[in-house]
Amino acid sequence: MTEGNFVDYVKIHVSSGNGGSGSAHLHREKYITKGGPDGGDGGRGGHVIIRGDKNLWTLFHLKFKRHVRAEHGGNGSKSRSSGSDGSDEYIDVPLGTVIRDTETQEIIQEITEDGKEYVVAEGGKGGLGNWHFKSSTNQTPRYAQPGIEGKEVDVTLELKVLADVGLVGFPNAGKSTLLSVITAAKPKIADYEFTTLKPNLGIVQYRDFKTFVVADIPGIIEGAAEGKGLGYRFLRHIERNSTLLFLIPADASNIANQYEILVDELRRYNPEMLDKDRLIAISKSDMLDAELKAELKAELDENLNADYVFISSVAQQGLTELKDRLWEMLNRKPD
Alpha-carbon gap, residue 165 to 305, rounded angstroms? 20
Is 196 part of any known ligand binding site? yes
Is 170 annotated as ligand-binding?
A: yes
218 belongs to an annotated ligand binding site: yes
242 is in an annotated binding site: no
Q: Please tell me the distance from the alpha carbon of residue 65 to that of residue 306, in angstroms, as a whole number.
A: 46
Determine whether the annotation assigns residue 197 to a binding site: yes
173 labelled as ligand-binding?
yes
**C-alpha span between 87 and 72 (Å, rounded):** 8
Is 276 within any annotated ligand binding site? no
Residue 320 counted as an annotated binding residue:
no
> Binding residue per annotation — 124?
no
The verdict on whether residue 180 carries a ligand-binding annotation is no
Residue 175 assigned to a binding site: yes
- The full DSSP string for 233-266 is TTGGGGTT-SEEEEEEETT-S-HHHHHHHHHHHH
Q: Are 26 and 158 a contacting pair, CB within 8 Å?
A: no
Whole-angstrom CA distances from 249 to 10, 48, 88, 178, 196 are 35, 49, 53, 12, 17
Name which of 214, 231, 213 is nearest 222 in CA terms.
Answer: 231
Q: Is residue 94 part of an annotated ligand binding site?
A: no
Does 19 belong to an annotated binding site? no
Q: Is 64 annotated as a binding residue?
A: no
Is 104 assigned a ligand-binding role in the annotation?
A: no
- Of 266, 265, 259, 261, which is closest to residue 238 (Cα–Cα)? 266
Q: Is 194 annotated as a binding residue?
A: yes
Please report, as a single letter, which amino acid is at residue 1: M
Q: Is 313 annotated as a binding residue?
A: yes
Numbered residues of the known binding site for Mg(2+): 176, 196
Numbered residues of the known binding site: 169-176, 194-198, 216-219, 283-286, 312-314
Numbered residues of the known binding site for GTP: 169-176, 194-198, 216-219, 283-286, 312-314
